[in-house]
Amino acid sequence: MFNPLSVALSVHILGIIVWVGGMFFAHQALRPAIVEVLEPPQRLSLWVATFKRFFLWVWISIVLVLVSGLWMLSLYPQIPVFMHIMLGLGVIMMLIFLHVFFAPYKKLKQAVAEERWVDGAKALGQIRLLVGINLSIGLVTTIVATAGKFYL
């Protein structure tokens, strides 16, 4: 029989894969490759073009993860500890993304449009740090969410 929980859980996981997997690729593969191959003007322009596309997917993922997760939580008579941790870490990740989107990403776009490469590099450095933090939290949250039920 059709179970709406299976849809919610699938949507939840797909959102997580797109968001955390995308951060892993950007931070661990694209970033070092770009530093090796491109000069700062091209490097910064490529990041703006990349973020423009990736951040749209992050927005979609956040809405899907939050809506599906909160709906699934609402069905629990008593919420297990590991799910409180997942919710808490998930909210922190979302707040960090909001900060990245509205502060350093905005500065990066402006700097690139005005060809201020030093300012752009500074903003990109902040994004790199925050995405690194969010990636780490995302990986830990995934472990808590899946293996947590055996402990917490």
Q: Which of 67, 55, 48 is nearest to 96 (CA)?
A: 55
Under rule CB under 6 A, residue 145 binds ligand HEM = yes
Contact 148, 86 (CB under 8 A): yes
Nearer to ligand HEM, 58 or 111 (CB): 58
Distance CA 116, CA 151 (A): 51
Spell out the residues 6+ positions from residue 99 whose beta carbon is closer than 8 angstroms to its own. Answer: 130
Task: Outline where DSSP puts E strands in the chain.
Answer: none
Under rule CB under 6 A, residue 86 binds ligand HEM = yes
Under rule CB under 6 A, residue 133 binds ligand HEM = no
Under rule CB under 6 A, residue 10 binds ligand HEM = no
Q: Which of 57, 50, 49, 47 is nearest to 126 (CA)?
A: 47
Give me the least distance between CB of 109 and ligand HEM, in Å please. Answer: 26
Window 23 to 42, contacts with ligand HEM (CB under 6 A) = none
Under rule CB under 6 A, residue 91 binds ligand HEM = yes
Interacting residues with ligand HEM (CB under 6 A): 9, 12-13, 16, 20, 65-66, 69-70, 72-73, 83, 86-87, 90-91, 93, 138, 141-142, 145-146
